A and B are shown apart, each in its own frame.
Chain A
Amino acid sequence: MPELRTEEFQINMGPHHPSTHGVCRLILTMDGEKIVKIEPVIGYLHRALEKICENRTYAQCIPVTDRFEYVTAMSCNQVFSMAAERLAGIEVPERAEYLRVIMLELNRIASHLIFYGVTAMDLGALTPFLYGLREREAIIDLFEMTCGQRLTYNYIRVGGVARDIPKEFIPKCHEALDTITEKMSDYEGLLNENPIWLVRTKGVGVMPAKLGIDYGVSGPVLRASGVDYDIRRDDPYSIYDKFDWKPSVRQNGDCFDRYLIRLDEIKQSIKIVKQALDGLPEGDIKAKVSPNFKPPAGEVYARVENSRGELGIYIQSDGGKKPLRVKMRGGSYCQLQALPYFGTDCFIADLVAIFATLDIILPEVDR
């Protein structure tokens, strides 16, 4: 009888796989049912956004940044505007800063609600998806009412924001926030204690803090591993220092903590938006900036805390009306590059959970 032996084999997860949140291919080396090696293959969604930006004026770059990280396009608008403002030394009126913070935080809530729904759906629970998207709809309606678009906002501009909020915005916003606050108990009730959910997420895919820092992971994923680092507090931009809130931190670094931290962040964001709505001053919404303004030659890096970690834009200017070089940095990219180092030694089903709770979106990875 020939001798029986086992050997490793490779399978592809993706590029067209419903739980890769876009088009990502993971080449998995398997030993039986266990994953021993993960090799992410990226680039399927490359649209050369950086190059496109280099051929547009600064004002025309903003709609391009919308496509960079479309789930929280407001942050992309914000970070590009911030970089251009720092380069050209433009002061942003206070009302505009308040409006920006309101929109950024609403967008963060919307993004985390998607995360809540999609992660649960990846793990086989369909109901949370409908619940999460139902409340998100209210926020998206607020955006549409203000800037006319539901995903690609083109709202935050160099020097301020594009339009003032309509009259009915403030009551509707309060209403939406109150609904979300009320529904938080539903969200938690559906999953937090659910035994199936706990088995799928607790202790699965633990990312050590050191590994995260080494690979440039940031945002909620890193905070779930116990690192208290939030750019909104540690490198304050806009007017975040005026509000009373605190970054959420959790210790275990597993899928469950990565899930809980997003729910915590929704609560903190609601707090920030409420304060901003109450303190909203009157005044201009945009500094006088010509559409073809030319910043002086130089370079600048601006970063914001987005729902997927540090979102940064580096602009190099030669004094012309178009940037000489633009570099975009997204949080998802770093999370994906850390994945092979802590996502192994588990089942494929666990990898789905890990991938989902990292909340990677591929357009941001591929740019």
Chain B
Amino acid sequence: MLDGTGSMGVFKDIKNLLIGMRITGKHLGRHAITLQYPEQKWTMPERSRGVVVLLSDKETGELNCTSCMLCMRACPTAAIEIDAPRGEDKKRTLKVFNVDNALCCYCGLCEEACNFSALKMATMYEYSTPNKGDLFWDMKKLQEAGRDVPYEDKRKKKKAKPVEAAPINEATPVKEDTKTDSPPPDDKASDTAGKEDEG
């Protein structure tokens, strides 16, 4: 079948096959590069988008989240669920923060939307489970997962500039937001107005 016409052709074919074998043969003496997974692990790059976690303040240990809901709005799969009713003093208290990892598409848009270093995509990737329900992470689990995640605190730097560092409340986030990302006017309004329009 080979296109060897006459004996010369056959020799040519054999020679070309040997060229290929020489290339593979070069690897014979080399050691394997396979990583023995559960024992040895790859170091994930720092930007790697593994799983959504909530970050806590390094000193107080409280969540950084201001319940501004920007991440919830940015999420294309509605994987984030936030409930933060306003109290007497018009301030929101974060009651529910759920991430359904079964819905999440690991796009990282929530991390980008958050202006308060409250949410990050951590490099952790080993959380597969036979039970789909376990992929639903509530606030506590998200906070635990984010405890030791190193992060750069965008919040502190901004807070340092104004002399009277006000506690994070409704007023500051929106202003900072306008400075950095300039969302369209209708958005600014809805951010302060709260989640009524989200229904």
A interface residues, Cβ below 8 angstroms from B: 56, 59-64, 66, 127, 141, 144-149, 152, 154, 162-163, 166, 186, 189-191, 193-196, 198-199, 288, 290-294
Contacts and interface: CB of A to CB of B under 8 A. Distances in A.
A61 B76 CA distance: 8
Contact of B182 (A59, A144, A288): A288
Given A149-B106, A195-B3, 12 more contacts: A63-B76, A144-B45, A148-B121, A149-B49, A152-B105, A166-B47, A189-B23, A199-B3, A290-B182, A290-B183, A291-B74, A291-B109
B169 interface: no
A291 B49 contact: no
A292 B16 contact: no
18 contacts: A59-B74, A63-B105, A141-B45, A144-B45, A145-B45, A148-B47, A148-B121, A149-B49, A152-B105, A186-B23, A190-B24, A194-B17, A195-B16, A199-B3, A290-B181, A290-B183, A290-B187, A293-B184
Contact of A60 (B3, B76, B106): B76
B2 to A, nearest CB: 5
Contacts of A147: 47
Q: By CB atoms of chain B within 10 A, which of A147, A189, A288, A291 has the most?
A: A291
Nearest to B123: A148
Contacts of A66: 107
A350 B19 CA distance: 25
A292 B47 contact: no
B113 interface: yes
Nearest to A191: B20
B112 interface: yes
Nearest to B184: A290
B194 interface: no
A193 B23 CA distance: 13
A148 B48 contact: yes
B4 interface: yes
Interface string B104-148: 011111001100000001000000000000000000000000000
B1 interface: yes
Nearest to B70: A291
B31 to A, nearest CB: 15
A292 B3 CA distance: 63
B185 to A, nearest CB: 10
A292 B188 CA distance: 11
Residue of B1, B73, B75, B76 with most chain A CB atoms under a 10 A cut-off: B76
Contact of A291 (B22, B105, B183): B183
B13 interface: yes
Interface in B1-21: 1-4, 12-13, 16-17, 19-20
Contacts of B74: 59-60, 291
Contacts of B12: 195
A145 to B, nearest CB: 5
A199 B3 CA distance: 7
Contacts of B48: 144, 148-149
Which 8 A-B pairs rank lowest in CB-CB distance, beginning with the nearest? A60-B76, A63-B107, A195-B13, A148-B49, A148-B47, A193-B16, A290-B183, A145-B45
Q: Which of A59, A61, A166 has the most CB of B within 10 A?
A: A59
A60 B47 contact: no
A258 to B, nearest CB: 19
Contacts of B181: 290-291
A55 to B, nearest CB: 9
Contacts of B3: 195, 198-199
B109 A154 contact: yes
Nearest to B185: A290
B125 to A, nearest CB: 11
Contacts of B75: 60
Nearest to B16: A193
B187 A163 contact: no
B4 to A, nearest CB: 7
A234 B1 CA distance: 43
A208 to B, nearest CB: 24
A186 B12 CA distance: 19
Contacts of B2: 195-196, 199
A144 B125 CA distance: 14
B182 A195 contact: no
B192 to A, nearest CB: 15
Nearest to B190: A292
